[in-house]
């Protein structure tokens, strides 16, 4: 990969989220929450993530994550995109992000849906980094599914 590819990977937006992550830290909530812990076994990166849902709305996503700039920034973008949305809307955003990341760089992202998440279009061209970008998103889906199924704490 070239210096140009490097800049495509590390978009300013990604580096900004990495330096100043949104919603970072684990927060306590009464009511429907679930907590999951996901690991990327190839590099050892980890995320502990809590989802709080009330009346079908994602009220909060809080997380404690150790990892590279891509994984940290994607957790921050996740927070921005899904908090305040209904579970259905948030799942649709999740699907859009997943499609983008699994598209090997061929998917044109919709900025209306993914906002800052479109900066990850460059990451999709680096197979070794796709897992980094998806770590917190997969953890969120897992935790949210648990809350919806009623497996989380009530």
Partner 1 sequence: MTLEGLLPELAVIRKDFPILERTLAGGVPLIYLDSANTSQKPQVVIDTMVDHLEHHNANIARAMHQLGAESTEAFEAARDKVAAFIGAPERDEVIFTKNASEALNLVANTLVWPGERQVGPGDEIVITEMEHHSNIVPWQLLTQRTGATLRWFGLTDDGRLDLSTIDELITERTKVVSLTWVSNMLGTINPIAEITRKAHAVGAIVVVDASQAAPQLPIDLSAMPVEERPDLLAFTGHKVVGPTGIGVLWGSRAVLDALPPFLGGGEMIETVRMEGSTYAGIPHKFEAGTPPIVEAIGLGAAVDYLAHIGLDAIHAHEKAITGYALEGLRSVKGLTVLGPLDAAARGGAISFELDGVHPHDIAQVLDSRGIAVRAGHHCAKPAHARFGVQSSTRMSSYLYTEPREIDALVEALEYTRSYFKLDRA
CB of 68 to partner 1, least distance (A): 4
Site string for partner 1, 7-26 (x = CB under 8 A): --xx----x-----------
Burial label, 113 (beta-carbon count in 10 A; 0-12, 13-18, 19+):
middle
- Of the two residues 68 and 96, which places its CB atom closer to partner 1 in the complex? 68
As given in the structure block, the two tokens for residue 10 are: 């590390």
Distance between CA 2 and CA 147 in Å, rounded? Answer: 43
Distance between CA 48 and CA 69 in Å, rounded? Answer: 17
66 binds partner 1 (CB under 8 A): yes
Stretch of 44-52, 76-84, 101-109, 139-147 lying at the interface with partner 1 (CB under 8 A): 44-52
Distance between CA 96 and CA 39 in Å, rounded? Answer: 22
- Name residues whose C-beta falls within 8 Å of residue 47's C-beta, 6 or more positions apart in sequence: 37, 38, 63, 64, 65, 66, 67, 71, 75, 135, 136, 139
Strand partners, 86: 57
104 binds partner 1 (CB under 8 A): no
Q: Which of 25, 44, 127, 150 binds partner 1 (CB under 8 A)?
A: 44
Q: Which of 23, 24, 43, 103 binds partner 1 (CB under 8 A)?
A: 43
CB of 87 to partner 1, least distance (A): 31
Q: Which residues bind partner 1 (CB under 8 A)?
A: 1-6, 9-10, 15, 42-46, 66-70, 72, 126, 129, 132
């Amino acid at each position: 990969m070239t210096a140009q590819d490097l800049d495509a990977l590390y978009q300013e937006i990604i580096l900004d989220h990495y330096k100043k992550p949104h919603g970072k830290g684990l927060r306590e909530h009464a009511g429907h929450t679930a907590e999951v812990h996901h690991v990327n076994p190839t590099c050892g990166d980890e995320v502990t993530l809590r989802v709080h849902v009330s009346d079908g709305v994602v009220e909060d996503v809080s997380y404690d994550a150790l990892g590279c700039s891509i994984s940290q920034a994607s957790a921050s973008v996740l927070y921005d995109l899904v908090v305040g949305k209904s579970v259905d809307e948030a799942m649709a955003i999740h699907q859009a992000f997943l499609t983008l990341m699994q598209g090997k760089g061929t998917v044109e992202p919709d900025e209306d849906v993914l906002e800052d998440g479109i900066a990850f279009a460059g990451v999709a061209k680096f197979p070794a980094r796709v897992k980094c970008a998806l770590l917190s998103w997969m953890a969120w889906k897992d935790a949210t599914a648990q809350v919806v199924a009623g497996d989380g704490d009530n």
